[in-house]
């Protein structure tokens, strides 16, 4: 956990509105866990003021510049351009200076058992699932279910497949894979593999639907949540979600940045999470 | 022996006021530094003039619904709602960590009623590791959370008097900028027995998402902080320094050493850094190093020579 002043190695548009940025990140390889994130800042004194949180897609090594030098560690982010911060990010080029705070937060709890694993991603929510898939013991029993609005929103699936993971795609407009919502496939897969463990990241309405399906079937579920964050280190209390035991008298607010972003579904108060969904849906 | 020479040339950054001895005039602003622990991986807490903790109430407080924060031009709105662990949990769970450091601990607190203010102050007065209390009479976020006290000079005077009676430790009163004339509340605080004044707390503000037509934070109204509020904060610090005899701590939008210097030059004995800690958890360390460099560059041997050196 530290603030790293570093540089961009590459930054490319991989699908309309989606970018993949490779960043020099010494020290990440040994400590970063699947599901952790970074707080990203484009240079001092430039807007936006606050850093932006992004999941780590993958970590890798590049050959050293010359013999005798160490290999170069990098991380990759995949981000969707949605506002002021990501608009600045997508203008960055190789060699541009940036700052990274991380790796932050609690990642996925991974057990070493082989067993069936189902990863459910919605759009950009697939980002933290790649390192997770990579670290699972028996990838031939791992299935990636990925849903999006349209074919442009389905990214990097072939990379998952190269890990040995089987993938299933749905789009709402039917432009790629099956037409419809990914949760339908989840139900089908759980009928077939009732002992599977489920890991999910994506928009709140999708997560809620996944939670309902899993809790009905007593299937263990871990979710990676998004929240607005100012600090990323547990100080501002801007990013909280209500925990299962929450009440006005005995508040149990969990910081998404520190106690999350990955939670076991039983740690959360889904009724209240749902209230936030209603707000999101009406918007 | 070059290191000796370097230390000889090091300007003095220590300041003293209201019975407090600070190694440097730099400390975090309440609510932006958690209980200290959150930042320990990123900076040396022993380098800080003081450690100022998140505002405490008598009982734990849940805080507001989310979204609680929104970025604005050159700043941010927040309506955290003073979420905190409560004074007892603070004493048993957070103080032991803070006591490891030799930087004085300043505990920020508030109450819903005059009696509650008095009660929290009395409990903290008996805690050995607490160097001073900072009394928040100004949080604009919570319906009963201080707005009445801080914006009404009579109510401010009364509640500060109540706290003063139950406190032997130094009392810093933190003022709200959401008033017509800050000098009036500053005077009320001085008259009621405050040992020092800190200002400013956040400025009330609002922002709307034009697509959803909803306020961007759930509480509708929030407190504005960050670099955008600095000129207002410097102006108010200047006015208060000119009005009261007790020492003043400047707060508002400090991102860099130059920003801190503005407050010191208008006469603040020390400054607090808030939102900048979110942007960069090392911010205070960088500011400190640059403050020192500024003094060296300007031939200033003692930071106290700078304080109140405004040329009018
Ligand atoms: C732990 C974590 C991991 C994330 N990982 C990724 C990732 O891998 N790839 C990716 O593209 N995005 C990711 N996000 C979301 C990303 O942080 C936001 O999209 C980004 O901050 C938007 O910044 P902006 O300045 O471009 O948009 P803004 O102008 O700040 O906002 C534009 C829109 O995006 C929404 N938004 C802003 N911040 C967030 C946020 N933190 N979470 C959800 N919605 C937000 C706003 O409400 C608004 O509607 C992650 C968020 C979290 C909390
Ligand atoms: C997220 C957040 C939480 C805060 N919580 C408190 C608090 O609990 N008590 C208090 O007196 N001030 C609180 N403040 C106000 C700050 O201490 C400070 O007065 C204000 O942010 C202005 O300084 P800045 O511009 O450097 O942030 C809070 C500010 C922010 C941004
Ligand atoms: S982002 Fe500040 S507490 Fe989580």
How close is the Cα of A63 to the center of ligand 3, in Å? 36
Nearest atom of ligand 1 to the alpha carbon of A88:
26
Average pLDDT rounded to a whole number, residues A181-209 = 93
Average pLDDT rounded to a whole number, residues A266-275 = 80
Helix (H, G, I), strand (E, B) or coil at A209: helix
| Tens-digit pLDDT profile for residues A205-251 | 999 999 999 999 999 999 999 999 999 999 999 999 989 888 777 77
Structural contact between residues A77 and A100, judged by C-beta atoms closer than 8 angstroms: no
Q: Is B30 in the pocket of ligand 2 (CB under 6 A)?
A: yes
Residue B139 is a catalytic residue: yes
The stretches in chain B having pLDDT less than 70 are 1-8, 139-148
Q: Which of B139, B240, B244, B276 is catalytic?
A: B139
Q: Is A227 in the pocket of ligand 3 (CB under 6 A)?
A: no
Distance from CA of B61 to the nearest CA of A (A): 7
How far apart, in whole angstroms, are the C-alpha atoms of residue A101 and residue A104? 7
How far apart, in whole angstroms, are the C-alpha atoms of residue A109 and residue A95? 35
Q: How many percent of chain A have pLDDT more than 90?
A: 76
Helix (H, G, I), strand (E, B) or coil at A263: strand
Nearest atom of ligand 3 to the alpha carbon of A231:
2
Look-up: residue for tokens 């609510």? Answer: B31
Cβ within 8 Å, pair A233-B211: no
In chain B the domains, ranked by start, together with CATH numbers, are 2-63+82-208+227-303 (3.20.20.70)
The per-residue pLDDT for B147 is 56
Cβ within 8 Å, pair B38-A233: yes
In chain A the domains, ranked by start, together with CATH numbers, are 2-104 (2.40.30.10), 117-282 (3.40.50.80)
3-state SS, one letter per residue, for A25-61: CCCHHHHCCCCCEEEEEECCCCCCCCCEEEECCEEEE
Tell me the pairing of strands B171-174 and B130-136: parallel
Q: Is A228 in the pocket of ligand 3 (CB under 6 A)?
A: no
Please list, in sequence order, all residues whose beta carbon lies within 8 angstroms of the beta carbon of residue B235, skipping any fewer than 6 positions away.
none
How far apart, in whole angstroms, are the C-alpha atoms of residue B263 and residue B261? 5
The per-residue pLDDT for B6 is 44
Please list, in sequence order, all residues whose beta carbon lies within 8 angstroms of the beta carbon of residue A249, skipping any fewer than 6 positions away.
none
Helix (H) or strand (E) holding A226: none
Nearest to A49 among B33, B226, B282 (CB): B226
How close is the Cα of A257 to the center of ligand 3, in Å? 5
pLDDT reading at A272 higher than 90:
no
The per-residue pLDDT for B148 is 63
What residues 59-78 of chain B have any CB closer than 8 A to a CB of chain A?
A: 60-63, 66-71, 73-76, 78
The per-residue pLDDT for A271 is 80
pLDDT reading at A44 higher than 80:
no
Cβ within 8 Å, pair A235-B38: yes
How close is the Cα of A255 to the center of ligand 1, in Å? 16
> Which residues in A lie closer than 8 A to residue B61 (C-beta atoms)?
251
| Tens-digit pLDDT profile for residues A172-181 | 999 998 898 9
Q: Is A226 in the pocket of ligand 1 (CB under 6 A)?
A: yes
Distance from CA of A50 to the nearest CA of B (A): 5
Structural contact between residues B75 and B275, judged by C-beta atoms closer than 8 angstroms: yes
Helix (H, G, I), strand (E, B) or coil at A258: coil
How far apart, in whole angstroms, are the C-alpha atoms of residue B23 and residue B307? 15
Give the A:B interface size as CB pairs under 8 Å: 103
How close is the Cα of A250 to the center of ligand 1, in Å? 30
Q: Is B237 on the interface with A (CB under 8 A)?
A: no
Cα dihedral B282/B284/B285/B290 (nearest 10): 120
Burial class (CB in 10 A: 0-12, 13-18, 19+), A15: middle
Distance from CA of A91 to the nearest CA of B (A): 20
Which of A112, A101, A49, A107 is CA-nearest to residue A75?
A101
Q: Is B140 in the pocket of ligand 2 (CB under 6 A)?
A: no
How far apart, in whole angstroms, are the C-alpha atoms of residue B25 and residue A189? 61
pLDDT-derived band of residue A150, with 50, 70 and 90 as boundaries?
very high
3-state SS, one letter per residue, for chain B: CHHHHHHHHCCECCEEECCEEECCCEEECCCCCCCCHHHCCCCCHHHCCCEEEEEECCCCECCCCCCCEEEECCEEEECCCCCECCHHHHHHHHHHHHCCCCCCEEEEECCCCHHHHHHHHHHHHCCCCEEEEEEECCCCCCCCCCHHHHHCHHHHHHHHHHHHHCCCCCEEEECCCCCCCHHHHHHHHHHCCCCEEEECCCEEECCEECCCCEECCCCCCEEEECHHHHHHHHHHHHHHHHHCCCCEEEECCCCCHHHHHHHHHHCCCEEEECCHHHHCCCHHHHHHHHHHHHHHHHCCCEHHHCCCCCCC
Tell me the pairing of strands B203-205 and B222-225: antiparallel
Nearest to A251 among B62, B69, B280 (CB): B62
In DSSP terms, A80 is beta-bridged to A18
How far apart, in whole angstroms, are the C-alpha atoms of residue B108 and residue B213? 36
Q: Is A38 in the pocket of ligand 1 (CB under 6 A)?
A: no
């Amino acid at each position: 956990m530290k603030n790293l002043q570093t540089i961009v190695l590459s930054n490319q548009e991989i699908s309309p509105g989606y970018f993949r940025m490779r960043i020099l990140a010494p020290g990440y390889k040994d400590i970063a866990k699947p599901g952790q994130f970074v707080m990203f800042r484009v240079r001092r004194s430039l807007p936006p003021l606050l850093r932006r949180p992004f999941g780590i897609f993958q970590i890798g090594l590049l050959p050293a510049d010359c013999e005798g030098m160490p290999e170069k560690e990098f991380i990759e982010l995949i981000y969707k351009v949605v506002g002021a911060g990501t608009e600045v990010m997508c203008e960055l080029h190789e060699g541009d200076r940036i700052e990274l705070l991380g790796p932050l937060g609690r990642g996925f709890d991974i057990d070493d058992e082989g067993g069936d694993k189902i990863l459910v991603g919605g759009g950009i929510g697939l980002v933290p699932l790649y390192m997770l898939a990579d670290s699972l013991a028996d990838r031939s029993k791992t299935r990636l279910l990925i849903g999006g609005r349209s074919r442009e929103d389905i990214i990097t699936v072939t990379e998952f497949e190269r890990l040995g993971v089987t993938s299933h795609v749905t789009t709402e407009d039917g432009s790629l894979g099956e037409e419809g919502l990914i949760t339908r496939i989840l139900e089908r897969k759980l009928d077939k593999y009732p002992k599977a463990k489920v890991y999910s990241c994506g928009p709140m309405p999708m997560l809620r639907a996944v939670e309902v399906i899993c809790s009905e079937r007593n299937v263990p579920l871990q979710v990676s949540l998004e929240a607005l964050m100012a600090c990323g280190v547990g100080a501002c209390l801007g990013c909280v979600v209500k925990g299962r035991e929450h009440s006005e008298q005995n508040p149990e607010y969990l910081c998404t940045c520190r106690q999350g972003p990955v939670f076991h579904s039983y740690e959360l108060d889904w009724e209240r999470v749902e209230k936030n969904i209603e707000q999101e849906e009406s918007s | 022996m070059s290191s000796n020479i370097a230390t000889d040339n090091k300007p003095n950054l220590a300041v003293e006021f209201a019975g407090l001895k600070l190694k440097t005039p730099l400390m975090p602003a309440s609510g932006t530094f958690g209980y200290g622990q959150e930042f320990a991986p990123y900076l040396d807490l022993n380098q800080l003039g003081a450690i100022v903790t998140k505002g405490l109430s008598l009982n734990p407080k849940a805080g507001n619904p989310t979204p609680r924060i929104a970025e604005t031009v050159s700043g941010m709105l927040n309506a955290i709602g003073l979420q905190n662990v409560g004074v007892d949990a603070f004493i048993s769970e957070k103080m032991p960590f803070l006591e490891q450091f030799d930087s004085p601990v300043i505990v920020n607190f508030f109450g819903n009623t005059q009696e509650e203010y008095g009660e929290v102050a009395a409990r903290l007065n008996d805690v050995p590791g607490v160097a001073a209390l900072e009394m928040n009479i100004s949080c604009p976020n919570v319906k009963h959370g201080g707005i009445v006290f801080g914006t009404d000079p009579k109510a401010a005077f009364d509640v500060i008097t109540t706290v003063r009676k139950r406190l032997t430790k130094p009392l810093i009163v933190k003022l709200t900028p959401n008033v017509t004339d800050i000098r009036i509340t500053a005077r009320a605080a001085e008259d009621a027995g405050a040992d020092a004044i800190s200002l400013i707390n956040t400025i009330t503000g609002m922002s709307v998402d034009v697509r959803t037509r909803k306020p961007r934070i759930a509480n509708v109204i929030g407190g504005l902080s960050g670099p955008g509020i600095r000129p207002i904060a410097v102006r108010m610090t200047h006015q208060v320094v000119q009005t009261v005899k007790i020492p003043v701590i400047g707060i508002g939008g400090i991102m860099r050493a130059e920003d801190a210097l503005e407050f010191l030059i208008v006469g603040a004995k020390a400054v607090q850094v808030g939102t900048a800690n979110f942007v960069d958890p090392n911010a205070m360390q960088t500011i400190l190093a640059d403050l020192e460099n500024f003094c060296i560059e300007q031939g200033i041997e003692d930071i106290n020579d700078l304080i109140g050196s405004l040329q009018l």
